[in-house]
Amino acid sequence: MTGSITKPKCMGTKVNGDPCSSIILGESGYCIAHDPETGGPDRMREMGRKGLEAQKAVRIGFTFAELIPLKTYEDAKERLDVISRAAMSGLLDDKACNAAIRAISEWVKTESEAATKHVVETLAKEIDRVKRQIGAA
C-alpha cells in the first residue's frame, strides 16, 4: 500500500470564512494569496486585474484602447469577418461576440439613417429644382 504525502495547507481564510485549501509555498505558513510578505490579497487582486487585461489583449488580439472607429460599411464588414473568425476559433466568447455585433449593428443603423436622410434631402432639392424649372418654362 502506498502512502500519500499530505502537503501543508495555508493558514489563511477565504472571503466566505472557510479555511484556505491552497498549499503553502514558503515558510510563512501561507499561500501566495494570503502571505503578508508578498502583498497578500491586495497584491493578488492587482495581479488578477493585470492578468485579466493581458489575457483579454492576447485572446482578442487588441486592447480596447486600440479599437479603430468604423468609418465605412467595408470597415463594418471586415470587423464582422474578424468577429466571426474569432468566435469560430474560440478566441472570443459568445458574450463578447454578441456585444461587438450589437455595436456594429447600431453603427450600421445610425449610418443608414444618416445616409437615407442625405439621399432624401438631395432628392427633395432636386425635386424643388425641377419644379422651379418647370414653373419658369
Specify whether 130 is located in the same domain as 82. Answer: yes
Position 2 in a domain: no
- pTM of the full predicted structure? 0.45
Task: List pLDDT tens digits, range 56-104.
Answer: 555 555 555 456 788 888 888 888 888 888 888 887 788 888 888 888 8
Specify whether 74 is located in the same domain as 125. Answer: yes
Our count of domains for the chain comes to 2
Specify whether 21 is located in the same domain as 51. Answer: yes
State the residue range of the domain holding 32: 8-64
CA atoms 108, 64, 68, 93: torsion sign: negative
Domain boundary among 64, 90, 106: 64
Specify whether 72 is located in the same domain as 132. Answer: yes
Specify whether 85 is located in the same domain as 131. Answer: yes
